[in-house]
Amino acid sequence: MTASDQNRFQVELRGLIDLLSQHLYSGPHVFVRELLQNGVDAIQARRQIEPQHEGLIEIEVITSAESDPTIIFQDNGVGLTEDEVHQFLATIGQSSKRGEMTSRPEDFLGQFGIGLLSCFTVSDEIVVLTRSAKGDNQPGIEWRGSTDGTYSVRKLTQAIPVGTQIFLQPSTGYEDYFEPQKVLKLAREYGSLLQPKITVTSNGQTDVVNAKAPWHQDTTNPQVRENLLAYGTEVFERNFLDVFPLHSTSGGVTGVAYVLSEAVHAGSRQPHRVYLKDMLLSTKTHEVLPEWAFFVQCVVNASQLRPTASRESFYEDTVLERTRQELGDCLRRYLVEMAQTQPRRFEQLIAVHHLAVKALAVDDDECLELFADWLPFQTSLGTMTLAEFRKQNSVIRYVPSCDQFRQIAQVAASESLAVINAGYVYDVDILTRLSMIRSDFKLEEFDAEQLSDRFEQLSQSEREETLEFERLADMTLQRFKCAVEIAKFLPSDLPSLYVTDANADFIRSVEQAQDVTEGVWNDMLGDLTRDVPSSYARLYLNYSNPLIKRICQLGQSDGQRRSVEMVYIQALLLGHFPLKKSEVKLLNEGLLGLLDWAVGGQDNE
């Protein structure tokens, strides 16, 4: 063999079919989609020759108790000549939509030249009868292809209509895909919104597949709106609050978006029903809307987006990116218009989807300015909108984490102090941004230590009565880097309040991590706190609480010490602080110690 010798790759058809069925396509059912695609494209090609041609696709399922079922798929499209049969049906990857057969490839659904091969995922043999519309007296051609990689071509002596007929019988194990109701369901799923008339016939009954596309309907008409909501419930199997139109010039996208009737979390991604040139592409596409639009599901039709080879998703390119942005703008305009013209309706929507509105507003100052006062926040005095909160408070006090809020919520509520829980996603960013764009928006991060300024101080006699106990309690919790102070505060049924600052929180988190590490990692964690200023947490014991009073007046120091340890643990648990290893040990020992002390006390009596 010389260096100039040329050879051709060999393709093993069965291996290629396995690749298509197991890796490219989502399942064997796509053969119906591929046949519909070829039929529609053939009709489009014939219209270039005969502009007034009325297309028709007929699917017939023949069943018999004596033999396997047969699907006959027939279109009255452009058909193929004998040369085209050899070129397009016997050459893998060759597509008539890319050749000279058409001057407008954008009019066609297919472009990869592997569609007919999908039939081999359900059938061992494909029989094609075709007659070309190009020229007069074109003969009919029969093409038979097999999964073993062989095919035959012959001219037909009998006349057949212009167009193409495809005959399939099921491979072993794929009979279900040839059941009449299954074929009808798949034809409706993929082709109900296509323009040529499509029928499915079996056992003497003919069903028309076509239906009216939702993107061609007027959503401002009340009856149409109700019909569209019913359609959305049918295809997505859930209820919706509203429906509105979508449009994108970049991707040639039109459609409708449905507003979910229930709240969903920010990380959720809703599956959308997406069509490409009226053919169903996917019912599980996520990439057509921006991430913040997790409160809607849409049905859209694209004419300019590029499908992947599997035809079940779109290529992630600049056109799709622009389309996503333009569809996001549609959602934004929908919300803005509703807020401006239908405030009561917008209030109902935001009550369910405030998280999605926050996700939009956090990066859009115009929307933030418009929507801010509608946004609900959890506060120490109950949930209220920002407008309601500002009406009652000139300063917007907040804590940046849910744990901090849990620590102070009861006491703040008893003191009639309004504090926002900004520990949920987007809340801190929204409040901070508002303080920058609104001159009258006074924002203040609330420190739990500030609550102590509102506590009632002990009287002189009470101070003298509790001085020794406070000293004992303080010494008891020294090893946990926690100082103790006795004060009076509400609610009186809360025995204690545990508060920390940022440094104490950081040191505590490092110590927790050290509990589960050893060796060099433990040392490295210790180094993290070397330059952090030493800081103690503080445990406030509530002298208005009957239990704390009894502990103070208890005459035995051992019982007081055990009680303080348990009150400390309870305060940590109420504040949702994870216990360190030493505190878990204290909990176990403290319970046993209290039991031992109590039993010993009974014996002494």
Q: What is the DSSP string of 400-465?
A: SSHHHHHHHHHHHHHTT---EE--STTHHHHHHHHHHH-TT-EEEEPPGGGGGGGSBPPPHHHHHH
The DSSP element (H or E) to which 223 belongs, if any, is helix 222-236
Residue 274 has pLDDT above 90, yes or no: yes
Specify the pLDDT at position 111.
40
Specify the pLDDT at position 219.
82
Digit-coded pLDDT (tens) for 351-378 = 999 999 999 999 899 999 999 999 999 9
Confidence of residue 21 (pLDDT cuts 50, 70, 90): low
Residue 23 has pLDDT above 80, yes or no: no
The answer regarding whether domain 375-451 maps to CATH 3.30.420.10 reads no
Specify the pLDDT at position 76.
96
Closest CA to 550 of 534, 535, 567: 567
- In degrees and rounded to multiples of 5, residue 284 shows phi and psi of -130, 30
Residue 271 has pLDDT above 60, yes or no: yes
Q: In percent, how much of the chain has pLDDT > 70? A: 90
Asked if residue 75 belongs to a known ligand binding site, the reply is: yes
First to last CA, the chain: 110
CATH code of domain 458-500+535-604: 1.20.120.790
Q: What CA dihedral angle connects 408, 410, 416 and 418, to 10 degrees?
A: 50
If one compares 2 and 343, the residue with the highest pLDDT of the two is: 343
Q: Which CATH number applies to 214-344: 2.40.50.140, 3.40.50.720, 3.30.230.80, 1.10.1740.10?
A: 3.30.230.80
Digit-coded pLDDT (tens) for 139-149 = 999 999 888 88
- DSSP per-residue letters across 386-408: HHHHHHH-SEEEEESSHHHHHHH
Residue 172 has pLDDT above 70, yes or no: yes
How far, in Å, are 11, 37, 100, 389 from residue 84 at the CA level?
21, 18, 11, 74
Are 342 and 318 within 8 A, CB to CB?
A: no
Digit-coded pLDDT (tens) for 152-164 = 999 999 999 999 9
Specify the pLDDT at position 601.
56
Residue 46 has pLDDT above 80, yes or no: yes
Specify the pLDDT at position 91.
61
Are 487 and 456 within 8 A, CB to CB?
A: yes
Average pLDDT taken over every residue of the chain: 87
Specify the pLDDT at position 243.
95
Q: 0.85 cut: is pTM over it?
A: no
Specify the pLDDT at position 10.
53
Digit-coded pLDDT (tens) for 89-122 = 766 555 554 444 444 445 544 443 467 788 888 9
User: Rounded CA gap, 140 and 152, in Å?
Assistant: 14
Specify the pLDDT at position 231.
93
Token pair, residue 605, equals 């009596």
Specify the pLDDT at position 605.
43
Are 298 and 313 within 8 A, CB to CB?
A: no
Residue 36 has pLDDT above 60, yes or no: yes
Q: Which amino acid appears at position 285 of this protein?
A: T
Asked if residue 373 belongs to a known ligand binding site, the reply is: no
Confidence of residue 597 (pLDDT cuts 50, 70, 90): low
Specify the pLDDT at position 116.
79
Specify the pLDDT at position 98.
43
Specify the pLDDT at position 60.
97
User: Rounded CA gap, 513 and 517, in Å?
Assistant: 7
Specify the pLDDT at position 25.
66
Residue 22 has pLDDT above 60, yes or no: no
Omega before 51 cis (within 30°)? no
Specify the pLDDT at position 519.
76
Digit-coded pLDDT (tens) for 452-490 = 888 998 999 999 999 999 999 999 999 999 999 999 999
Q: In percent, how much of the chain has pLDDT > 90? A: 63
Residues composing the chain: 605
Residue 517 has pLDDT above 90, yes or no: no
Asked if residue 447 belongs to a known ligand binding site, the reply is: no
State mean pLDDT over 544-570.
92
Residue 523 has pLDDT above 50, yes or no: yes
Q: Look at 195-199, 310-314, 461-465, 493-497 and tell me which has the smallest mean pLDDT.
A: 310-314
Specify the pLDDT at position 483.
94
State mean pLDDT over 35-52.
93
Asked if residue 76 belongs to a known ligand binding site, the reply is: no
- What is the CATH superfamily name and number for domain 13-208? Histidine kinase-like ATPase, C-terminal domain (3.30.565.10)
Four-residue CA torsion sign, 82, 85, 90, 91: positive
Closest CA to 419 of 381, 372, 374: 381
- Give residue limits of the domains in the chain: 13-208, 214-344, 375-451, 458-500+535-604
User: Rounded CA gap, 82 and 97, in Å?
Assistant: 17
Digit-coded pLDDT (tens) for 231-263 = 999 999 999 999 999 999 999 999 999 999 999
If one compares 337 and 112, the residue with the highest pLDDT of the two is: 337
- In degrees and rounded to multiples of 5, residue 477 shows phi and psi of -100, 10
User: Rounded CA gap, 364 and 358, in Å?
Assistant: 10
- In degrees and rounded to multiples of 5, residue 472 shows phi and psi of -65, -45
Q: Look at 4-13, 152-161, 587-596 and tell me which has the smallest mean pLDDT.
A: 4-13
